[in-house]
Amino acid sequence: MWTNSPHSGKTIQAVLLLFWALYFSLVLCSNSTDALKALGLLPANWVFASGNFALVQKVVGIYHSPVWLAGLFYTGVLVWQAVGAVLLWSAFAATVQQTSQYQATAYRALTVTISLWAAFILADEFFLAYEMSGLSATHFSLLIAEIGTLLVFRKN
């Protein structure tokens, strides 16, 4: 049964951070295997791969950009996702343990990952990717969802 005890808020915070840590870890894994496929290090029929590298190529291709530019952007996103995942796992652990810095740790992690969605939205606009069905809406929805998570950590 749900209660309004002080512990229920901490439980929600921990569950949300666990969700985002798992989400970013899975996305990082599927995007990494996609990168390995693009580099020819995994077979073309490898199933667990996001397909996002081809999407990035298509998005930046509007300006007839070289393939290496898509690779550079994709690498940057992988690094950003990896940092976000590590920070989210750290924030989850700090929240579960109720360390004195658990809120600051959560803010740090969520700032990094929210910034990724904001960067995607800006890139969608610059590369006119909003013309691709659902892409901008997905980025915007994830941004709003993470902002909602951030609000759960607001100081009373």
Q: Assess contact for 123 and 70: CB atoms under 8 A.
A: no
Q: Is residue 110 part of a domain?
A: yes
Q: Assess contact for 104 and 91: CB atoms under 8 A.
A: no
Tens digits of per-residue pLDDT, 23-56? 999 999 999 999 999 999 999 999 999 999 999 9
Q: Is residue 75 part of a domain?
A: yes
Tokens representing 90 are 């750290």
Between 5 and 8, the more confident residue is 8
The residue type found at 30 is S
Gap between the Cα atoms of 113 and 68, Å rounded: 25
Q: Is residue 1 part of a domain?
A: no
Gap between the Cα atoms of 92 and 59, Å rounded: 34
Q: What is the pLDDT of residue 156?
A: 47
> Domain limits at 70?
6-152
| Over residues 57-77, mean pLDDT | 95
Tens digits of per-residue pLDDT, 116-151? 999 999 999 999 987 788 888 999 999 999 999 999
Q: Is residue 37 part of a domain?
A: yes
Tens digits of per-residue pLDDT, 142-156? 999 999 999 998 864
Q: Give me the number of domains the chain comprises.
A: 1
- pTM for this one? 0.91
Q: Kindly state the percentage of the chain with pLDDT values over 70.
A: 94
Task: Return the ∠ at Cα 16 (arms to 56 and 145), rounded to 5°.
Answer: 50
Q: Is residue 78 part of a domain?
A: yes
